[in-house]
Amino acid sequence: MRVLFVVLVLLFSSCDSDPPCIPEKPVDPGYPPIISAQRDTSVAVGDTLRLQAHANDPDGDSVAFYATAILRDASERDYVAEVHINRETGDFLFVPRFQDMPARTIMFTAVDARGYSASTLFDVSVWYHLDQKNDATATGGHNVMLYSPIGQEFVPDLSALDVVQLWLIGGSSYSGPGEFVMNIRSGTIGGQLLGASAVTALPYRFLGVASFEFERVALTPGQTYVIELVQLSGQNWLVGTTQSNPYVSGRMILEGRPIESMDLWFREGAVEPLPEGGLGL
């Protein structure tokens, strides 16, 4: 009896309240879900990457899935990657665009019914069917407006084109943003216009690869075509050139004349068609 009395005294004195309280039982904190790691993978621009997130919860709680495309820097703050996930099943779709090249990091997150979460990161390499290129490091640049018409001859292996990429520089303190259109011409810089890209707007102090998208342009492999860059707005924008690794199947066009000693930094090719049936979610 003495032992029981001592225990009761200690029990009620520890509550520090009046009337005495009864201590609560410790709450089971639960455990976060265990989400399966996802391997790095790749997908062509315009194709659909289909994956499924998986997770197990040690407490048997239901789990909701989320997907996030990680932004690479502050310049992408207004860009929204096309990622979709079914929160109940974890079925995931990613439809990359040129802005996602050369790779996009994706994060899968699983959240259980108690609010505990776990995440995994993986990289998706993004590519397209590259046909012709001259993409050694750009060693110089020419003012687009000053040297217009400016372009590059190329001889395709593919029978279609729907993307061209150039290296553009808008780094002047007073250049401001710029708007551009890309033309594809047959034979020479003044040849038949076969296709024109949508207007591409580039921000102030842009430096890097600019992508121009087309409705598919039919080409004849082995024939000569010309990429023509047209600037619609902005000042003092430069297009990147290379001299150390000239493109052997064509010449740079400067002020409407072929130049033998240099070429534009360029890539051209075709993307996979979008799959039929939509997103299917």
DSSP helix/strand/coil, 102: coil
Summarised one tens digit per residue, pLDDT across range 242-262 is 987 789 999 999 999 999 989
Answer yes or no: is pLDDT of 9 > 60: no
Phi, psi of 19 (to 5 degrees): -70, 165
Q: Tell me the domains of the chain and their CATH numbers.
A: 34-127 (2.60.40.10), 129-270 (2.60.120.820)
A 10 A CB-CB count for 56 gives: 11
Give 202-263 as a 3 state SS string: ECCCCEEEEEEEEEEEECCCCCCEEEEEEEEECCCCEEEEECCCCCCCCCEEECCEEECCCE
Mean pLDDT for all residues in the chain:
85
Summarised one tens digit per residue, pLDDT across range 89-111 is 999 999 998 888 889 999 999 99
Summarised one tens digit per residue, pLDDT across range 172-229 is 656 678 999 999 999 999 999 999 999 999 988 888 889 999 999 999 999 999 999 9
pLDDT band at 29 (very low <50, low <70, confident <90, very high): confident
